[in-house]
Structure 1
Amino acid sequence: MNRQAHAVTDLASRKPKALKIERLLGLKPGANPLELLEIGTGSGGIAHYFGTHPTLSCNVTAVDVHDNRQVHAGYDYIPVQGVELPFEDARFDVVISNHVIEHVGDKEAQLTHLREIRRVLRAGGCVYLAVPNRWMLTEPHYRLKFLSWLPKPWRTPYLRWSGKGDLYDCEPLELAQIEAMLATAGVSYRNICVEGLRETLDIERPGALATRLLRRVPDNLLKRFRGLIPTLIYRIEKSGHGR
Structure 2
Amino acid sequence: MPTTNKFVRQPHAVTDLASRRFKALKIERLLGLQHFPLPIRLLEIGCGSGGIAHYFATHPSLQCIVTAVDVHDNRQVHDGYIYHSVQGVQLPFEDQQFDVVISNHVIEHVGDTAAQLVHLQEIRRVLTSTGKAYLAVPNRWMLTEPHYRLKFLSWLPHAWRSPYLRWMGKGEVYDCEPLQMHELERMLATADLQYHNQCVEGWRATFEIEHPTHWSNRVLACCPDSVLKPLTPIVPTLIYRLERGIRTARPEL
Task: Normalising by structure 2, report the TM-score.
Answer: 0.94
Unaligned runs of 5+ in 1: none
Q: 1:212 aligns with which of 200, 218, 221?
A: 218
Conserved? CA contact 2:134–2:240, under 8 Å: yes
Conserved? CA contact 1:29–1:55, under 8 Å: no
> For 2:163, what is the secondary structure of its paired residue?
helix
Structure 2 partner of 1:102? 108
Query: 2-side partners of 1:147 and 1:224: how far apart?
Result: 24
Query: 2-side partners of 1:10 and 1:161: how far apart?
Result: 28
Q: 1:240, CA displacement in angstroms?
A: 5.0
Unaligned runs of 5+ in 2: 1-6, 248-253
Structure 1 partner of 2:3? none
Conserved? CA contact 1:89–1:119, under 8 Å: yes
Query: 1-side partners of 2:180 and 2:135: how far apart?
Result: 14
- What do the CA deviations read for 1:43-99 (whole angstroms, capped 9, x no partner)? 000000000000000000000000000000010000000100000000000000000
Q: 1:189 aligns with which of 195, 202, 211?
A: 195
Q: 1:12, CA displacement in angstroms?
A: 1.4
Q: 1:31, CA displacement in angstroms?
A: 5.1
Say whether residues 1:71 and 2:63 are aligned partners: no
Query: 1-side partners of 2:102 and 2:183: how far apart?
Result: 20
Query: 1-side partners of 2:151 and 2:131: how far apart?
Result: 37
Conserved? CA contact 2:141–2:154, under 8 Å: yes
Structure 1 partner of 2:15? 9
Say whether residues 1:161 and 2:161 are aligned partners: no
Structure 2 partner of 1:143? 149
Q: 1:104, CA displacement in angstroms?
A: 0.2
Query: 1-side partners of 2:192 and 2:81: how far apart?
Result: 29
Q: 1:30, CA displacement in angstroms?
A: 5.3
Structure 2 partner of 1:234? 240
Structure 2 partner of 1:123? 129
Q: CA RMSD in A?
A: 1.1
Instruction: Report the AA paired with residue 169 of structure 1.
Output: D
Runs of 4+ in 1 over 2 A off after TM superposition: 29-32
- What do the CA deviations read for 1:123-182 (whole angstroms, capped 9, x no partner)? 110000001000000000000110000000000000000001111000000001100000
Instruction: Report the AA paired with residue 113 of structure 2.
Output: K
Percent identity for Structure 1 against Structure 2: 68
Q: 1:32, CA displacement in angstroms?
A: 3.0
Q: 1:195, CA displacement in angstroms?
A: 0.2
Q: 2:93 aligns with which of 87, 110, 131?
A: 87
Query: 1-side partners of 2:213 and 2:224: how far apart?
Result: 19
Aligned residues: 241
Query: 2-side partners of 1:193 and 1:29: how far apart?
Result: 21
Query: 1-side partners of 2:227 and 2:130: how far apart?
Result: 31
